[in-house]
Structure 1
Amino acid sequence: MIIVIGSINLDLIATVDRLPGAGETVPGSGFSTAPGGKGANQALAAARAGGQVRMVGAVGKDNFASEALALLKGGMIDLSGVGETFASTGTALILVGGDGENMIAIVPGANGSVVPGDLSKAFLKKGDIVLLQHEIPLATVDAALDAAKKAGAVTILNTAPFRAEAADMLAKADYVVANETEFDLYTEALSLSGRDRQARMKAFVQKTGHTIVLTLGGDGVMAATPEGFLQVPALAIKPVDTVGAGDTFCGYLAAGIAAALPLEEALRRAAAAGSLACLKPGAQPAIPLKADVDAALAG
């Protein structure tokens, strides 16, 4: 079982010709809503990759909640661990520029009420894959890492969004997934030495004994493990919207690890899925199905 403990949002998405600078107003060309939240996105990606998934999180008792959960329900994800609170359902305010890049502001809402006591809803057991991010209280993330280790589960920690106070938690996760910016910031927080990223990734492995995965956008993925160093390419695409690409990668990676794929193959599939997610607008609506990834890798 893949257990995702994390955020559930409704994304409010505006498209603009270019992203605004500080204090600048730019005209928009479109608006839409879509289910989102890093936890929910990753749960749906893991399910579309063929995994059996349980979601632990929270939504509000408001009109946004049902829309935020719609695709998770459609994806046959176990939502028994999702509670309701009097806080508003989490929202993400997203601007997407003409080049596919984005700017995002997060309002946590109900996600802030996911507490360590909610981990009982995860029903952790040996062999489970536990997937975590930083959009719920860090005390809950920390408790989940400890609980998973005690249960004999495998943990994957996605370090987004960057939170300096989370640096010491990274050593607890079996797999850490970060993008370039996050890794560079954590390099400083963890005092990792090395002349380049590859050397600093190896320093992280030497320090923790665990695996670090670095996503590089169009340049693919690098991973440093106790056994060595891996690098896989991304698909060559012209991005429409990069929102959710990293979450798609994480969900597919979790599914690959759950299926006991060799890490290089799991990374290759996850990187391809992340690339395909950039070809459609929105986060969850753009997550590819397993058949789409199979076709892309075969072609």
Structure 2
Amino acid sequence: MTQIAVLGSMNMDLVAYAEKAPLLGETVTGRAFRTIPGGKGANQAIAAARAGAMVSMIGAVGHDAYGARMRETLEHSGVDTDSLRTIEGPSGTAHIVVDDEGGNAIVVIPGANGTVDHLAPGDEGVIACADMLLLQLEIPLAAVVAGAQAARRHGVRTVLTPSPARPLPSELLDHIDLLVPNEREAATLTDRADPRDAAAALLDRVPQVVVTLGAAGCLYLTRDAAPLVIAAPRVAAVDSTGAGDTFVGALAVALAEEKPIREALSWAAAAAAVSVQREGATESMPYRPEIEAQYTA
């Protein structure tokens, strides 16, 4: 079975649902509030596990009720948590407003994630045993760089989701095989508004780029083939929180299983399409039979 390691964040998502997100200085009345385990690292780990991979999570939670619940959620989805450490202090949290169109605005408080600034003993061994390593930017950059470099030493493919977007040093990008920004992140990284132009600019630094385009699907560019545009299935979106992480987790599984790139992208888009039809991040992520059903629909 495919082995995937995830080095990244664990957050408890504190989600308010409202007709629209408030403007600065504005108060709006919401219709519901939920606490849902999330964080980009945990999201991608759960998405990959439910898509059919054996997954190990490397990161940290706090010594609090949120941390215990997040660990339990990972384990319930089949994610190995032996490399998920518990530290004194609070777990990470994400404060999210979801509007009636399914859009969201998010403020992340790192908490325990801020302590993941290096690889702990045993972490490199977990990475070395994987077929692929998934990385994001919700933990300190030093750990992301260390993880990418460890993966390269052991011939493990790397996928980086550059979120939250920030300048990316060569010491990181030199060890990344696939970069997966969304439209806004791609524009931030390149100062180019057009996704195709942004992806082309990013190819100067990494060998493959996928720019996710929300309901419009995704754009794939590589240095040695024509660009691909993959349409997203048409569905009624309820909540887009976690959809990008669902896409990345499913894509990693498809690529590790050696699916052709067009098929892998379409399969990942099907997974994301299932997720946006449900509320929450981790709670919305589909299991493999659900992805297959959407893919063949």
Match 2:154 to one of 134, 140, 151: 151
Q: 1:230 aligns with which of 222, 225, 228?
A: 228
Query: Do the aligned partners of 1:256 and 1:266 also contact (CA within 8 Å) in 2?
Result: yes
Quote how far apart the aligned CAs of 1:271 are.
1.1
Q: Could you tell me the TM-score, scaled by structure 2's length?
A: 0.94
Find 1:140's aligned residue among 138, 143, 162. 143
State the AA in 2 paired with 1:175: L
* Native 8 Å contact 2:66 2:91 kept in 1: yes
Q: In 2, distance between residues paired with 1:115 and 1:231?
A: 36
Once the 2 structures are TM-superposed, how far is the Cα of residue 196 of structure 1 from its aligned partner? Answer: 4.4
Higher helix fraction: Structure 1 or Structure 2?
A: 1
Structure 2 unaligned runs (5+)? none
Greater Cα shift, 253-262 or 118-127: 118-127
Q: Does 1:82 align with 2:84?
A: yes
What pairs up with 1:63-102 in 2 under 5 angstroms?
Answer: 63-102=65-104
* Paired residues of 1:167 and 1:186 also in contact (CA < 8 A): no
For residues 282 and 273 of structure 2, the distance between their equivalents in structure 1, rounded to whole angstroms, comes to: 14
1:32 offset after TM fit, Å? 0.9
Residue 125 (structure 1) aligned with residue 123 (structure 2): no
Q: What is the RMSD of the two structures over their aligned residues, measured on CA atoms? A: 1.6
Within-5 A mapping of 1:81-230: 81-118=83-120, 120-123=122-125, 124-125=127-128, 128-164=131-167, 166-168=168-170, 169-188=172-191, 196-205=194-203, 207-208=204-205, 210-228=207-225, 229-230=227-228
Q: Equivalents in 2 of 1:222, 1:282: separation in Å? A: 25
How many residues are treated as equivalent by the alignment? 292
- Does the residue aligned with 2:196 lie in a helix, a strand or coil? helix
Gaps of 5+ in 1: none
Shift of 1:18: 1.0
TM-score (norm 1): 0.93
Q: Distance in 1 between matches of 2:95 and 2:181?
A: 22
Q: Counterpart of 1:265? A: 263
The offset of 1:16, in angstroms, is 0.8
Instruction: Mark the CA change 1:34 to 1:197 in structure 2 (over 3 Å): closer, same or farther.
Output: closer
Q: Partner letter of residue 185 of structure 1? A: T
Match of 2:240 among 239, 242, 252: 242
* C-alpha displacement of 1:117: 3.0
Q: Give, in whole Å, the separation in 2 of the partners of 1:233 and 1:167.
A: 32
**Aligned position for 2:283:** 285
TM-superposed deviation, 1:157: 0.3
Distance 1:268 1:120 in 2: 35
